[in-house]
């Protein structure tokens, strides 16, 4: 099994959960870590700490009961604000600060943050320098290969990050302009491996143990980060980690999967409150049920529900004659 170190933190499991806004909240991070993911990074939090008293930010900063080390990802464009956010995150219990240079969402780009920063290498340098100086804990960065196919400057920015004291780089194998279209490419990640000595984590389209092996081999990365492949399948990181370690691990029986997802639904409802909790739980139910040949029929009955207890109970009832037990699981 590959191992890597970030600061004083040793990681012996190279299969990490990617930060996904609106998806990888605290209940999901805890579940994926419990089921075998080697690390999980928080949803991105805005660098303007004056907004942190809003419910959305409070939830994203909620790291209670999470297994360490804790990595909080910050997003912004102003070096001083980013430094303040990093310092505040450290005070709240973060063990690692991750800088977001990868988000392709338009609402983030409008503020010249996320992957938009890759168009301004000088500004990246200022942010890196000030954030590293502001905290006593390791700083890492997650980025794309570049803004577009004519400016794949990921290796250049990664090298600069290393020189300014950052301690790890995660790279998604698409440009910002790619969004999530087409296939991820790993040549740029491999060139980044040649450019830096710090730990490198590869991200993009990793949905199986075979793909993880191929990406690790092709890029020379120290770990891989899985995002959309975990949606509805929190067992995936643990399965890949076990198989890379030479151990056989399968998803549990469908009934056990349903029970696990039901507990997740309850945790999400408690985390967000009844109304928002039901809405947030729906996406996880839909992703889970899509893995089964007859799951869409079950989803059609669950989707309209607005009462949290009914949502939970109707989902649990899938164990008893709900159809999934005999369904054909769609494996990823």
Q: What share of the chain is helix, strand, coil (3-state, %, to 5)?
A: 45, 15, 40
d(CA 123, CA 320): 57
DSSP structural state of residue 168 = -
CB 153 within 8 A of CB 21: no
CB 169 within 8 A of CB 139: no
Cα 179-100-61 angle, rounded to 5 deg: 115
Whose CA is closest to 272, among 27, 20, 50?
A: 27
124 a catalytic residue: no
Residue 314 structure tokens = 């109707």
Neighbouring CB atoms inside 10 A of 238's CB total: 20
DSSP structural state of residue 13 = -
User: Which residue of the set 32, 103, 124, 177 is catalytic?
Assistant: 103
Neighbouring CB atoms inside 10 A of 260's CB total: 18
Q: Where in the sequence numbering do the catalytic residues fall?
A: 103
């Amino acid at each position: 099994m590959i191992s890597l170190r970030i600061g004083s933190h040793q990681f012996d499991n190279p299969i990490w959960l990617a930060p996904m806004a609106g998806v990888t909240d605290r209940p999901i991070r805890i579940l994926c870590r419990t089921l075998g993911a080697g690390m999980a990074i928080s949803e991105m939090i805005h660098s303007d700490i004056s907004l942190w008293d809003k419910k959305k930010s409070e939830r994203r900063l909620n790291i209670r009961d999470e297994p360490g080390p804790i990595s909080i990802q910050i997003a912004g464009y102003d070096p001083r604000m980013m430094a303040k956010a990093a310092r505040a995150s450290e005070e709240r219990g973060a063990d690692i600060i991750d800088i977001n240079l990868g988000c392709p969402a338009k609402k983030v780009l409008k503020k010249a943050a996320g992957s938009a920063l890759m168009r301004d290498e000088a500004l990246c340098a200022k942010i890196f320098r000030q954030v590293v100086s502001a905290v006593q804990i390791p700083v890492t960065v997650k980025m794309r290969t570049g803004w577009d196919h004519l400016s794949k400057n990921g290796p250049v920015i990664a090298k600069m990050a290393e020189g300014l004291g950052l301690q790890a780089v995660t790279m998604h194998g698409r440009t910002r302009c790619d969004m999530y279209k087409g296939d991820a490419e790993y040549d740029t990640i491999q060139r980044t491996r040649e450019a830096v000595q710090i730990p490198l984590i590869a991200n993009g389209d990793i949905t199986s143990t075979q793909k993880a092996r191929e990406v690790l081999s092709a890029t020379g990365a120290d770990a891989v980060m899985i995002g959309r492949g975990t949606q509805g399948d929190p067992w995936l990181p643990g399965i890949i980690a076990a198989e890379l370690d030479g151990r056989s691990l399968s998803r549990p029986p469908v009934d056990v999967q349903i029970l696990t997802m039901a507990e997740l639904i309850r945790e999400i409802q408690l985390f967000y409150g009844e109304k928002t909790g039901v809405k947030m739980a729906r996406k996880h139910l839909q992703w889970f049920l899509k893995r089964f040949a007859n799951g869409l029929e079950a989803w059609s009955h669950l989707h309209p529900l607005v009462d949290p207890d009914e949502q939970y109970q109707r989902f649990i009832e899938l164990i008893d004659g709900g159809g999934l037990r005999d369904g054909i699981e769609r494996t990823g």
